[in-house]
Amino acid sequence: MESEFILFRRFKNIVQAQDARQLLADNGIDAVIATNAAPVDITFAGNTFLDQIEIKIRKYDFARAEKVLEKRAEEGIGEADEDYYLLQFSDDELYDVLLKADEWNEYDYVLAQKLLKERGRPIDKELLDKLKKERLEELAKPDGNQQLWIILGYLFAVVGGLFGIVIGYFLWTSKKTLPNGESVFTYSEKDRQHGKNIFIIGLIAFPIVFLVKILR
């Protein structure tokens, strides 16, 4: 649903999250703070940080919220400390920061642009939009083959184990949220079909196995 709150950013502590929420609120964007929870919706594909504080906003606010955070980063960019790690990055590494903006904070994203411009490298809105599009296309691809989980799922489902039902449901319904707020299925259509089959088999086998055990 367009009106539901979905993951926008993760922060390492509650102070940073509250600061970001207040900034968004000051710009007319509703945001809520939540602790990280992952089960069926694997949010922010490409972002591997776990157990952090989450800021959630509505999907239609994503583009505006990104601009708000980037604007603040631009206003406070100044001169980075001499030992700041980004200063040691090569041009290719800085472009990689721009490509994988979802894995970096707004300050690093803006600083990478500043450093590249200072080195005489081409940076413009068209390039940034192109990099964002490439990143979204890459993250939207289904996760790799889930053969091991599929095999385990069928085995557990056939013997009536609840674990088989859980595996099946996860493979079938799991989604990931992209940095632009779009939600896509985590696994390929083929793997999802296996997940659905495993889930159905598990639902059928579990009560049968349960009754057999009781009758014994």
pTM of the model: 0.74
Model confidence pLDDT, tens digit, residues 105-118: 899 999 999 999 99
DSSP 10-77: EESSHHHHHHHHHHHHHTT---EEEE---SSEEESTT----S-EEEEEEGGGHHHHHHHHHHHHHHT-
Residue 150 has pLDDT above 60, yes or no: yes
Q: What is the pLDDT of residue 173?
A: 97
